[in-house]
Amino acid sequence: MSGTLVLVRHGQSEWNLKNLFTGWENPGLTDKGVEEAHTAGRNLKAEGLVFDLAFTSVLDRAQRTLDIMLEELGQTDLPTTRDQALNERDYGDLTGLNKDDARKKWGEEQVHIWRRSYDVQPPGGESLRDTLARSLPYYMKAIQPHVLDGKTIIVAAHGNSLRALVMALEGLSPETILKREIATGVPIIYRLNANGTIASSQVLEH
Domain residue extents for the chain: 4-91+129-203
User: Quick one: pLDDT at residue 8?
Assistant: 98
pTM of the model: 0.95
**Positions marked active-site:** 10, 88
User: Quick one: pLDDT at residue 164?
Assistant: 86
At 166, the amino acid letter reads V
pLDDT mean by block of 10 residues, the chain; 206 residues? 93 96 96 98 97 98 98 98 98 95 95 91 95 95 95 97 92 89 96 93 91
User: Quick one: pLDDT at residue 149?
Assistant: 95
Residue 52 CB-half CA count within 13 A: 14
Q: Topology of domain 4-91+129-203, per CATH?
A: Rossmann fold (3.40.50)
Q: By C-alpha distance, which of 27, 95, 89, 90 is closest to 64?
A: 27
User: Quick one: pLDDT at residue 2?
Assistant: 84
Query: Which runs of consecutive H residues, i.e. helices, occur in the chain?
Result: 14-17, 31-46, 60-73, 99-106, 108-116, 128-138, 144-148, 159-170, 174-178
Residue 123 CB-half CA count within 13 A: 8
User: Quick one: pLDDT at residue 1?
Assistant: 64
